[in-house]
Amino acid sequence: MTERLYYTDPYLRTFEARVVESLQWDDQPAIVLDRTAFYPTGGGQPHDVGSLNGIPVVNVVEREADGAVVHVLNEPWFDSAHHRLAANEVEGQVDWERRFDLMQQHTGQHILSAAFVERLGANTVGFHLSGDYATIDLDRAPLSVKDLAEVEVLANAVVFENRCVAARFVPDEEVPALPLRKPLAHKGPVRIVKVPGFDCSACGGTHVRATGEVGLIKITRSERRGSETRVEFLCGRRALADYQAKNTLLMDLAREFTVGHWELAGLIHRLDDDLKETRRELRRTRDALLDAEATALWQQAILVGSCHVVQAHLASRAPADLKHLAQRLVSHPQTMVLLAGGGEAGEMVYLTFARSADLDVHAGILLREACQAIGGRGGGRPDFAQGGGPQGDQVAQALHIALQSLTDSINATRETDV
């Protein structure tokens, strides 16, 4: 079993040790040392990174069989150019910035979890910590904004008091008398981490020596998950970085809109109301324009038998506009609408055909024929059809084909009627 130096000194950044085993771990080179300051993944806390004789340590795991700490390296131990010391002696260096960050988050979690118990009687049933993300799961839901704020205030009060954080292994006989926040999860030696007068937990992780080093504890989000609540939080440097980013965002927005940052919420509500009103106004104006345009088109309709045919190429109009126009036009009885849009300067050309309910013509079939002329495709129902094609220069031809088919069809019907 590897001697774990971080148990007694979590502030140890460099250490010397001996290699006791060289192995492959998941196809990567790895070594076991007689002693290490590297924390292996466990108890919700991620592993350390760093280097051994300059070789990067990319993963640290505890081997279940014998409790050895396995240091996974990103290059082979024996072939290494960094292999400066004697074959089995190493100098280890822990990436302190990452470790201290994890110690801040982890100790902050102890304090936050204890504060949830004290204020709300809510127990922590899950803990996740990664390089950029920390959450606890609580056995209570829902939690109000006020609940969360009260817990946050209590947790930070414990930080401001700068209480010491002490960790030690306790003899088995002392365990039953300990005021543990959570029951023990497994057998074996018990290591207790204590914030005097506030929290007592069994934990094998690394912690700061006094609560003041945790820095600010800030809850950033909470999410109900059935009967539980997941709470996202930041401590220390992470909380500062988050404050800096959010402050910059607010200040930038305030400058852009020339208001105080405290006026932004009101401003956004007003802008949102304005936007909604503008959209309504735009819709009314567009409707009025389409009405007027439909009226003008209707006046240019030609008669084929008793059928009014509205045929036009409106190059600047999008398919949605063509649809709106067609719907207005076919409210007139005995009306067939053959509209084209787009098709300028090599763009796609769109066709929209529609008929009034009292006509016995299939708009979808007419459209399918017409689309062939513009090298495209389309179709639809007997009363409404849309399509398009790439050959914009053939749009007149496409409309001509449609008109011709329509005329043939109407004439055939009339002859049958006669």
Instruction: Report the interface residues with Zn ion, using CB under 5 A.
Output: 203, 205
Q: How far is the CB of 24 from Zn ion (least distance, A)?
A: 31
Instruction: Compare residues 122 and 203 and give the one whose CB is closer to Zn ion.
Output: 203
Q: How far is the CB of 43 from Zn ion (least distance, A)?
A: 7
Least CB distance to Zn ion at residue 137 (A): 16
Strand partners, 386: 352, 379
Instruction: Specify the DSSP element, H or E, that contains 209.
Output: none
Identify the three-state secondary structure at position 129: strand
Distances (CA, A) of 279 to 16, 122, 265, 274, 327: 70, 47, 21, 9, 22
Nearer to Zn ion, 72 or 203 (CB): 203
d(CA 323, CA 339): 9
CA 379 to CA 63: how far, in whole Å? 66
Instruction: Say if CB 339 and CB 312 are below 8 A apart.
Output: yes
Cis peptide leading into 319, omega within 30 of 0? no
- CB 207 to Zn ion: min, Å: 6
CB of 72 to Zn ion, least distance (A): 23
d(CA 401, CA 369): 8
**Closer by beta carbon to Zn ion, 203 or else 338:** 203
- Which single residue is written with the structure tokens 């899950």? 126
Q: How far out from the chain centre does Cα 175 lie?
A: 43
Measured at the CA of 85, the angle between CA 83 and CA 90, to 5 degrees, comes to 90
**Which CB, 151 or 165, lies closer to Zn ion?**
165
3-class SS of residue 348:
coil
Q: Choose among 57, 65, 64, 6: nearest CA to 36.
A: 6
Question: Which single residue brings its beta carbon nearest to Zn ion?
Answer: 203
> Which of 106, 328 has the CB closer to Zn ion?
106
Quick one: 165 or 310, whose CB is closer to Zn ion?
Answer: 165
- Pick the closer one to Zn ion by CB: 126 or 142: 126
Nearer to Zn ion, 40 or 205 (CB): 205
Q: Is the peptide bond before 382 cis (omega within 30 degrees of 0)?
A: no
> In terms of CB distance, is 127 or 384 closer to Zn ion?
127
Least Cβ distance, residue 5 to Zn ion (angstroms): 17
Least distance to Zn ion, CB of residue 110, Å: 5
Q: Strand 166-170's sheet: what is its strand order? A: 166-170, 190-195, 199-202
CB-based contact 95:49 (threshold 8 Å): yes
Q: Rounded CA gap, 250 and 248, in Å?
A: 6
Instruction: Write down the least CB distance from residue 143 to Zn ion, Å.
Output: 23
Task: Quickly list H helices, 177-299.
Answer: 236-256, 264-299
Nearer of residues 188 and 226 to Zn ion, judged by Cβ: 188
**N-to-C CA span, the chain:** 105
Position 201, amino acid: S
As measured in angstroms, the least distance from the Cβ of 261 to Zn ion is: 37
Q: Cβ of residue 167: shortest distance to Zn ion, in angstroms?
A: 8
